Structures are given as C-alpha cells and as structure tokens.
Amino acid sequence: MDAEADVVHKIYHGSCLCGEVTFAAEDVSDIWYCHCKQCQHLSGHIVAAAGVSQNNLEYAGDISWSPVSSQTESGHCTTCNSLMFWNKKDSGSISILIGNFADPVGLDVKGHIFVGEKPNYYKISDDLPQYDQYPEGGIR
Ligand SMILES: [Zn+2]
Ligand SMILES: [Zn+2]
C-alpha cells in the first residue's frame, strides 16, 4: 500500500468567541507554549498556539491587525476582541491561538519556547522540551 495515499490533510475549523471571525486551516503544526514577553502582554500569561502556512489559512470576518513589534502583529476580532492570530511577517506562517479551535483533537503539545523570557511566578512542571528561544530548525 502506498504510504503517501494515507496522508490525511486534516482541516481544522475555529472561530472567535462571538463567532464573527471564522477560519479554516489545513496542515496545522502541533502546539507550542510560548513564554515570551509579547505573549505575556497580549494574553496576560502564556500563549498556546499552532502554526499554519499562510497559504493554508482562510478566514472570514472583521479582524483587526495590531503591530506588536516591527516584525510581528496580532489579529483579533473587532467585535469580541478574541486574540486569534500572531503573525511574524515574512515568515510565511501564522500562529493560531489554540483556544479558538473548535476541536483541536489530534494536535499534541510539542514543548515550551522562549523560556528565557519566562517570569518567576510560575513553574513549568511537565517533561516537555524547553527552549530559550526557538528550537533549531523552527517550530513546525
Ligand atoms: Zn468575535
Ligand atoms: Zn510568544
């Protein structure tokens, strides 16, 4: 049997809290916990997100893109303000915050990134790999 024929290109769907913004994402990466300073400010704590190629993401609805740094921007619903996307410009991929997925079954948590920026008020108590910034080779 041809192994290639078994590859399933699963499409994940999701939305913001109010339902105004919806998305469909194909070939989503596994989930990473990000402890960086940007995510601390954007989310109030840490962010759990999965990546998708920009070409494999479709969304509809009114999204506001806010600059986070000269190279990054966040996308949120203009109605309910759900934080949905984090885009590193020129990277070719977009991170989708996992809380916006309707049913993220099949995605596993890969590990922790930007642990070098983690504040001291909490401990990481699982056995997943930890990286000071990005792991070598990126986070796919
Ligand atoms: Zn909304
Ligand atoms: Zn981050």
Domain presence at residue 44? yes
Structure tokens at 26: 């194909």
- For 123: left if phi > 0, alpha if psi spans -120 to 50, otherwise beta; the answer is beta
pLDDT above 90: residue 9:
no
Ligand nearest to the CA of 59: 1
Q: Is residue 127 part of a domain?
A: no
Residue 133 alpha carbon to ligand 1 centre in Å: 31
Ligand nearest to the CA of 40: 2
- 123, part of any domain: no
Ligand nearest, relative to CA of residue 97: 2
97: CATH: 2.170.150.70
Q: Which residue has the tokens 């893109």?
A: 65
pLDDT, tens only, 73-106: 999 999 999 999 999 999 999 999 999 999 999 9
Q: How far apart are CA 17 and CA 7, in angstroms?
A: 32
Token couple for 16: 């913001």
